[in-house]
Amino acid sequence: MFINVVIMFVGCLGLALLIYPRLIPFLRRIKYGQSISEFSLDDYKQKEGTPTMGGTVFLLVPVLLLMIIYPKFFIDTKLLLIVMAYLGYGLIGFIDDYIIVIKHDNTGLKPWIKFTMQLVLSIVFYLFYRANSVTTIYLPFTDLFVDLDWAYAFLVFFMFTGASNAVNITDGMDGLAAGTSLLALIPFILFAVNANQPYIAVFITGVIAALLGYLKFNTHPAKIFMGDVGSLALGGLLAALALVLKQEIALIIIGGVFVYETLCVIIQICSVKLRKNKVFKYTPIHYSFVINGMREINVVRLFWMLGFVFMCLGLLIGVIR
């Protein structure tokens, strides 16, 4: 187990550090650059053209290395479900990114198409999950288990769409989504070990290592962005881990930064539609901190600290039963 963890960590980190310096100039040559919305803050419009789709590396490298370390993972149902969700949401993001890059338009996939693809993925996940696991959820700090039965399907869909889109919303500043996602993944290593799922822990370690390699080139000033292929995949991975390891409630706390970002967007949209007035200066909320005078790098550090606090609280909730 320990040897596999070390191999996975060193291998994924090393490959990421090896690939990105070659991928970045290649993406520049073929003009696979980020398209910036016309509604973005002026300070961020200068990032137009920065290579995107960097998430493909931390999406594929851990999966490929896992296949080498653990060739039988195809018959490990729980691990297979997690990998399927990770790759599936990454594929949706890749298609979205490809359309944006080709059309030079920040719109990407039509919302109803993206929604349908996410719905299909969640249904497939639920059908495989239902055949191999239970539909109960644990209420932290109690002895209560609630069986959702058929309603668990709605929870699966809500968690996948919520988590993937929440990470996507958070991906707006250099190092923000990658850093907070990395922190959110750490508790699931312990959850996997406690659940006697060592190879899930090995896989998470690989994703974290690849993210560390990505962060070297994504911290301010970013040389590459993860794109939707990265943000949707990370959100799908977090949701899948929480479902498979029965940490549904803990994910809400662990992903507190993503919940905060998403709630602010929802509040802003509802306020504009119902009251014709904004609650926040700008959403996603991290941009409001910049408008109020904070430097981008300090905003990212603040959100990383918040992510660390939420990670510790979520770890506590997930471990104490």
In this predicted model, what pLDDT tens digit does every residue of 125-149 receive, in sequence order?
999 998 888 889 988 878 788 998 8
- The H or E element that residue 137 is part of is strand 136-138
The answer to whether the beta carbons of residues 257 and 310 sit under 8 Å apart is yes
Would you call the peptide bond into 221 cis, given omega within 30 degrees of 0 as the criterion?
Answer: yes
For residue 252, the Cα-to-chain-centroid distance in whole angstroms is 13
Instruction: Centre a 10 Å sphere on the Cβ of residue 19 and count the other Cβ atoms it contains.
Output: 20
51 strand-pairing partners = 33
CA separation for the pair 230, 234 (Å, rounded):
6
CA distances (Å), 97 to each of 35, 197, 251, in order? 10, 33, 27
- CA 132 to chain centroid: 25
Task: Assign 3-state DSSP to the chain and report helix, strand, coil percentages, each to 5.
Answer: 75, 0, 25
> Per DSSP, what are the bridge partners of residue 145?
138
Q: What is the pLDDT of residue 30?
A: 85
8 A C-beta contact, residue 300 and residue 220? yes
Report the first-to-last Cα separation within the chain, whole angstroms: 25
- Residue 88 has a pLDDT of 97
The predicted structure's pLDDT at residue 103: 77
- Look-up of token digits 């990670």: 311
Residues 169, 234 contacting (CB under 8 angstroms): no
Residue-wise pLDDT tens digits, 80-91 = 999 999 999 999
Which has the closest alpha carbon to 204: 111, 43, 100, 66? 66
pLDDT of residue 10: 97
pLDDT score of 44: 64
Asked whether the beta carbons of 154 and 285 are under 8 A apart, the reply is no
- Successive 10-residue mean pLDDT values, the chain, 321 residues: 90 97 93 65 70 95 95 88 96 92 78 90 91 86 85 93 94 94 97 95 98 96 94 97 95 96 94 90 91 93 97 89 64
Taking the CA atoms of residue 158, residue 234, residue 34 and residue 285 in that order, the dihedral angle to the nearest 10 degrees is 60
What are the domain boundaries of the chain?
Answer: 2-249
pLDDT of the residue at 23: 96
214 within 8 A of 104, measured Cβ to Cβ: no
The answer to whether the CB of 54 falls within 8 A of the CB of 218 is: yes
Residue 40: what pLDDT? 60
CA-to-CA distance for 71 and 301, rounded, in angstroms? 39
pLDDT of residue 101: 83
DSSP state of 278: -
In whole angstroms, give the CA distance from residue 273 to residue 99. 29
DSSP designation for 282 = S
How far apart, in whole angstroms, are the C-alpha atoms of residue 267 and residue 277? 11
Handedness of CA 257, 259, 260, 262 (dihedral sign): positive
Residue 37's CB: how many other CB atoms inside 10 A? 11
